[in-house]
């Protein structure tokens, strides 16, 4: 199956949103009781799992201090022969949500004066690591790339995960066909160096790149003198009490693991118990729970992870991914109204989004956190419209 770029999947999702918009908005005039909303969402999640072969489970949390909401939902099954019911406490692979954590770590180091956003990455990374990664039209731009450009996907570097290759198999094909292969962060950078090419000069073009975020992990290690996963635990996970979160293949959660992580489907293949999940690191290698991600998202947006000046930089969203989707530093924003006039009253949400249809979003206007997971690369186009519907349902509680 051909793997579709993440941006185009989201575009498909917004098309579907516009299609369901008429139906949802036509009933949106009647206020809902909380029990009614919960019943609708429970039934929706069960129906999504039962009618879609791409997923076997669905998780969702809706939280708002302002609206006095703390609702959790789980549907589907997991484990051997899919015989074990999924609970709201099951851990799962959170994919590119990890980029928000990496961006926060860089933000902390900037606040401390250890680095600056405009520092050149060549100041912290060896020439050998950067060799060949930023050559565009015969010119090597490795000495012109800044930390901020890596954070905002503006460095021009290729993307080992989704970009085409000059020869051989794509990363997706390798992950599916060679599931026992164990990847190191150096392997991931080398894949781009050996099989892909830079797509622009630094600062010219937005191009989503997991390779760029691997380099950020190396910068964090260079500056702190510690392993990336140790910095992650010491500065974020442990202080916030995120005791069920860890970096896959690198660390362990503080709490004893009661469950295996939920299934992770890529083109119909479950990679959750394979070495294939070592294909990411500082760009999205976290296993976590809804409760832990909610803890992080609340702390982040209250200025307890980075200060509000840093958070403002992270949420500037000045780069357009596609129409209606914008990127800041380690976070993505969905502007529903920009895509369709039908959704002009639906508030923007922002946060971390993972390719496996996993999300950690915040509606700042109404103080609503939405965290969830569907665990499938092939379900993104259906999960995003569901987020819009959830926001519309919650909005009806306020009347």
- Over residues 110-157, the pLDDT tens digits come to 999 999 999 999 999 999 999 999 999 999 999 999 999 999 999 999
Q: What is the pTM of this model?
A: 0.95
pLDDT of res. 3: 42
pLDDT of res. 26: 46
Structural tokens at position 172: 């997706």
Our CA dihedral for 256, 262, 266, 271, rounded to 10 degrees, sits at 40
pLDDT of res. 384: 84
pLDDT of res. 129: 98
Q: Rounded CA gap, 302 and 311, in Å?
A: 9
Q: Is 243 exposed, middle or buried (0-12, 13-18, 19+ CB in 10 A)?
A: middle
Torsional sign, CA 346, 352, 354, 358: negative
For β-strands 319-322 and 135-136, DSSP reports them as unpaired
Phi-psi region of 267 (alpha: psi -120 to 50; beta: other; left: phi over 0): left
pLDDT of res. 7: 57
Report CA-CA distances (Å) from 329 to 1, 175, 311, 317, 346: 31, 27, 9, 8, 23
pLDDT of res. 122: 98
pLDDT of res. 5: 54
Our CA dihedral for 152, 154, 157, 158, rounded to 10 degrees, sits at 70
Query: Which of 136, 61, 23, 128 minimizes the C-alpha distance to 295?
Result: 61
pLDDT of res. 345: 78
Rg of the chain (C-alpha set) = 20
Neighbours of 127 (CB within 10 A): 9
pLDDT of res. 13: 57
Phi-psi region of 257 (alpha: psi -120 to 50; beta: other; left: phi over 0): beta
Please check whether residue 32 is in contact with residue 343, taking contact to mean a CB–CB distance below 8 angstroms. no
Q: What is the mean pLDDT of the chain?
A: 92
Structural tokens at position 104: 């926060």
pLDDT of res. 385: 85
pLDDT of res. 22: 45
**In the sheet where 246-247 sits, what is the strand order?**
92-93, 286-288, 246-247
**Which ranges of the chain have pLDDT less than 50?**
1-4, 19, 22-23, 26
For β-strands 135-136 and 139-140, DSSP reports them as antiparallel
């Amino acid at each position: 199956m051909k793997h579709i770029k993440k941006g185009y999947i989201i575009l498909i999702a917004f098309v579907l949103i516009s299609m369901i918009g008429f139906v949802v908005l036509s009933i949106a005039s009647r206020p809902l009781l909380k029990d009614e909303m919960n019943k609708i969402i429970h039934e929706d999640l069960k129906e999504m799992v039962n009618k879609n072969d791409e997923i076997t489970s669905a998780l969702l949390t809706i939280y708002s201090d302002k609206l006095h909401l703390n609702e959790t939902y789980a549907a589907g099954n997991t484990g051997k022969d899919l015989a074990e019911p999924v609970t709201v406490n099951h851990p799962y692979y959170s994919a590119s949500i990890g980029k928000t954590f990496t961006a926060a770590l860089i933000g902390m180091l900037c606040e401390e004066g250890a680095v600056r956003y405009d520092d050149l990455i060549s100041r912290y990374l060896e020439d050998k690591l950067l060799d060949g990664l930023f050559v565009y039209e015969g010119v090597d731009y490795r000495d012109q790339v800044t930390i901020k450009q890596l954070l905002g996907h503006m460095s021009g570097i290729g993307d080992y995960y989704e970009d085409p290759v000059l020869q051989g198999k794509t990363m997706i094909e390798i992950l599916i066909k060679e599931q026992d292969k164990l990847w190191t962060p150096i392997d991931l950078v080398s894949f781009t160096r050996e099989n892909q090419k830079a797509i622009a000069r630094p600062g010219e073009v937005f191009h989503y790149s997991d390779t760029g975020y691997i380099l950020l992990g190396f910068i964090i290690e260079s500056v702190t003198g510690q392993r990336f996963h140790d910095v992650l635990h010491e500065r974020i996970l442990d202080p916030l009490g995120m005791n069920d979160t860890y970096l896959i293949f690198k660390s362990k959660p503080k709490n004893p693991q009661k469950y295996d992580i939920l299934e992770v489907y890529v083109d119909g293949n479950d990679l959750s118990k394979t070495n294939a999940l070592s294909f990411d690191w500082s760009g999205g290698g976290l296993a976590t729970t809804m409760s832990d991600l909610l803890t992080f998202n609340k702390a982040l947006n209250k200025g307890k992870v980075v200060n509000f000046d840093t958070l403002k930089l992270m949420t500037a969203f000045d780069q357009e991914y596609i129409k209606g989707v914008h990127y800041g530093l380690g976070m993505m924003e969905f502007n529903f109204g920009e895509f369709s006039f039908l959704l002009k009253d639906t508030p923007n949400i922002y946060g971390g989004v993972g390719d496996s249809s996993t999300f950690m979003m915040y509606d700042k206007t109404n103080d609503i956190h939405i965290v969830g997971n569907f665990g499938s690369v092939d379900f993104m186009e259906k999960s995003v419209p569901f987020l819009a519907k959830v926001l519309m349902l919650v909005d009806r509680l306020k009347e």
